[in-house]
Structures are given as structure tokens and as C-alpha cells.
Amino acid sequence: MKNRLEVAKELLTDDGVFFASCDDNEQAYLKVLMDEIFGNENFITNFVVIRAEGGGLAKQVVKGHDYLLAYAKNIENFEPLRKPKDIRGKIVEKDGEKYWIEEDWLRLEFGKYGTCYYEDIERVKGKPKKDEIDRGIERGQYILLNKGKNKTIVGRYRALAEDGSKFYSILKHLNADGKNELKDMMGEDTFSFPKPTSLLKEIILGATFFKKDKEAIILDFHAGSGTTAHAVLELNKQDNGNRKFILVEQMNYIEDVTVQRVEKVMEKQGSGHFIYCELLQYNQAYMDKIQTAQSSEELVALWKDISENSFLNWYVNEQMPEDAVNDFIAINDVEKQKYLLAELLDKNQLYVNLSEIEDADFGVSEGDKALNKAFYGK
């Protein structure tokens, strides 16, 4: 994980935030690792996420929660996470925006109970404060609300889109909801433990609550079933945001689950588009062939192909001495043979590097070259 986290930190904007989800088995180790990479001073919190209920058959204790660690790239530039405020006051529309009127904010004494009425401002807080309030009324920042008996409250306009509450450290989003949600969408169980969309929506909205952040890019380099993309699309639909997502996944379910889920969400909403790309394989193609081989004979034939056409580790002799082949066959354990064959390959050449895109040996098409140059800004 360390190298992925280091790259993730570099990719974050200076006011960005990083979330990492894990269970109790890895939480302590992950916290130490992230403190090392992000710095303990940039630690925001370790959310407890209630993920299950019941569990009476548990051997020791019912494990009903996971963890969600949150770190800022730079805590000095980070705007605290926000969630929609539970508004109980009056909501009005002004200048094309929705506002709620906060009544209980001007106190007789800071931090203590007791509203300072408009008629008492000059006596309690002085003339400068009274003048400030009067100017705010003229500019439309405040509104006077008559409460009877010569008592007038100074209400202030709070923009709904820019006024939220801070997060509580315990979140509740059940894993069963995520599984049922995906099953309803795909028609069958396609993924073992998908996270509920509600969890991703809550934290993404928390990190992009303000209008200036609704153009944010959300990167998920463990995409799984595609819950992050689903959440981004639904949030954009709800608040007219223009958030973008980048998903990265290396497991083979990406076409059957992840991509199809994103397409189904977009089809349901009637909007959006995305591009799906795969890394151009080189040695990885041989790794796949090794894994699917069923016999020693297949692996010996593959060994010849690897020796002639792949990138080998620097210490590997590309020749195939007869004694070595006989020793290989004598192992008589296909899984061990697969392991030994995989060790011949240079893992730094699993995929074609961008720097070698013009190398004719890789046969990169002109269309793929143009796409990569546009993607990387070359």
C-alpha cells in the first residue's frame, strides 16, 4: 500500500482530502503508515462506520463496524467536511438562491444562552455594533422579525448551498444495503461486499459541499464494483454539480461489474458519459497465459515464447538448456512451475511504458497514441 498512498498524496490538490476504508484487522497498521506519509498533523479523524446489525452467532464479539481514516493534504488549507444542516427555521428565496433565516445567533453574551433583541443592541453591545447591524439590514444580510411586545429579533440569511454542519465521528451505512442495491441494479449477486452508495455520497458531498468544489475530481484507485462513480453521478444529479470521477481497477470483474454499473446509472439518469481504457499489456499478457496454463507441456512451450519475445529479469539467461527443461518438468507440480516461470519476467515491463509509445516493437496504433497524448497532455 505504501507506494500507492505516496502517489495518491502527490495527486491531491493542496486543499484535498484522502479517505481510506479498512476493518479492525488493519486499522492500527494503516493509521501508522498514513501518519508517516501524510503527517500526523494532517490527520482529520478515524470515522467509525456502522456496517452491520445482529450477528448473534459470532464466536467472540459481534463485529458491526469498519473504519474510515481521513487525512488532509495540508490541514491549513483544508475546509472542514460539511453535511446538510437540519434546517428548522424558515426557508426563503432571494436573488435566485435559497436561504434559511437564522434567528438565534445574536446573543446577549457570546457563548451563553439569551437572545439580544434589536432594541437592546446599542445598550448591550454598543453603537458600533448597532450601526453594523443597520448597514447589514440595508444590504439585505439581515432581516428584522417582530416577536411582539416591542421585541424584534435580528434574523440573518444563511445560504443553504453554503451552510452545513460538521461531521460526527460515527457514521451508519449498512453493508447489506450496498449488496441489495447492486443486486437490484445488476439482477444478481455480482460482488461480495460492495459499499453502500449512501456512504460514498455522504463523504464525497462532505468534501465537495461548497459551490467552488462541485467541479472536483474524485479518484478511487480501488474501484471495486464502482460505488464511487455511482455516488458521484447521483450527487451531480441532485445538486447540479460537475464532479468528475477516475476509477482504477486491476481485477477481471471490471468489464462485467464496474463498467456495466456505471453505464446502468448513466442510462437511468439519461445523462453523463465516461471513457474506459485498459493499459496496453506486454509482460502481463505472459503472466495471464501462465496463470491459465493447465499442464507442464503448456508451460514449457510458453517458456520458449517468453525467452524469445518478453522482457526478462536482468539476471535470467534467455537460453533454454535441455538440463534446465528436464529439471523443470521433473518438479511435477504445475503451481510451482507457474511460480518459477513468472519469476523470469521483468515486472517493470508488465505494461507498455508511455516513454516507449513510439517503439515499433509494441505496435501501438495511431488512435491509441493520440488518446494517450491527449490524456497525458503531451
Residue range 173-198, pLDDT digits in tens: 998 999 999 999 988 888 888 999 99
Torsion of CA 98, 103, 106, 108, to 10 degrees: -170
Alpha-carbon gap, residue 150 to 118, rounded angstroms: 10
- Say how many residues make up the chain: 378
Alpha-carbon gap, residue 228 to 223, rounded angstroms: 7
Closest CA to 167 of 84, 282, 232, 108: 84
Alpha-carbon gap, residue 316 to 303, rounded angstroms: 12
pLDDT score for 56:
65
pLDDT score for 55:
67
pTM of the model: 0.78
pLDDT score for 246:
95
Burial 14-36 (b: 16+ CB within 10 A, else e): ebbbbbbbbeeeebeebbebbee
Degrees to nearest 5, angle at CA 17 with 239 and 224? 75
pLDDT score for 111:
61
Burial 248-285 (b: 16+ CB within 10 A, else e): ebeeeebeebbbbbbeebbeeeeebeeeeeeebebbbe
For residue 5, CA distances in Å to 12, 20, 113 come to 11, 10, 46
The low-confidence residues of the chain, meaning pLDDT below 50, are none
- Asked if 294 and 282 count as a contact pair (C-beta separation under 8 A), the reply is no
Please give the distance of CA 331 from its chain centroid, rounded to a whole number. 45
In the structure grid, which three cell numbers stand for residue 10, read together?
502527490
